[in-house]
Amino acid sequence: DQQVKQNSPSLSVQEGRISILNCDYTNSMFDYFLWYKKYPAEGPTFLISISSIKDKNEDGRFTVFLNKSAKHLSLHIVPSQPGDSAVYFCAARDQTGANNLFFGTGTRLTVIP
Amino acid sequence: ETGVTQTPRHLVMGMTNKKSLKCEQHLGHNAMYWYKQSAKKPLELMFVYNFKEQTENNSVPSRFSPECPNSSHLFLHLHTLQPEDSALYLCASSQDQGNEQFFGPGTRLTVL
Q: Are B68 and B77 in contact (CB under 8 A)?
A: no
pLDDT value of position B97: 80
Report the range of poorest mean pLDDT among A100-104, A107-111, B76-80.
A100-104
Interface residue A32 vs chain B (CB under 8 A): yes
Cα B12 off chain centre by: 16
pLDDT value of position A61: 97
For chain A, the first-to-last Cα distance in angstroms comes to 38
| CA-based torsion, A94, B58, B3, B111: positive or negative | negative
Query: At a CB cut-off of 8 Å and minimum separation 6, what does A36 contact?
Result: A44, A45, A46, A47, A88, A89, A91, A103, B103
Report the range of poorest mean pLDDT among A16-25, A48-57, B52-61.
B52-61
Buried b (16+ CB within 10 A) or exposed e, B6-33: beeeebebeeeeebebbbbbeeebbbbb
Interface residue A101 vs chain B (CB under 8 A): yes
Query: At a CB cut-off of 8 Å and minimum separation 6, what does B8 contact?
Result: B21, B107
B47 confidence band (pLDDT: 50, 70, 90): very high
Relative to beta strand B44-50, strand B31-37 is antiparallel
The rounded distance, in Å, linking the Cα atoms of A100 and A108 is: 24
DSSP assignment letter at B86? -
pLDDT value of position B64: 95
The burial of A64, by beta-carbon neighbours within 10 Å (0-12 exposed, 13-18 middle, 19 or more buried), is given as buried
Angle at A28 between CA A27 and CA A32, to 5 degrees: 90
Phi, psi (deg, nearest 5) at residue A104: -85, 180
Q: Which residues of B touch A (CB under 8 A)?
A: 4, 6, 40-43, 45, 48, 55-56, 90, 92, 97-98, 100-106
Report the range of poorest mean pLDDT among B2-6, B48-52, B103-107.
B48-52
Of A9, A41, A103, the CB nearest to B42: A103
User: Looking at beta carbons, which residues of chain A come within 8 Å of B100?
Assistant: 34, 46, 49
Length of chain A (residues): 113
Distance from CA of B14 to the nearest CA of A (A): 23
Cα A25 off chain centre by: 11
The rounded distance, in Å, linking the Cα atoms of B43 and A37 is: 13
Asked if residue A97 has pLDDT above 70, the reply is no
CA-based max dimension of chain A: 45
pLDDT value of position B16: 86
% of chain B beyond a pLDDT of 90: 75
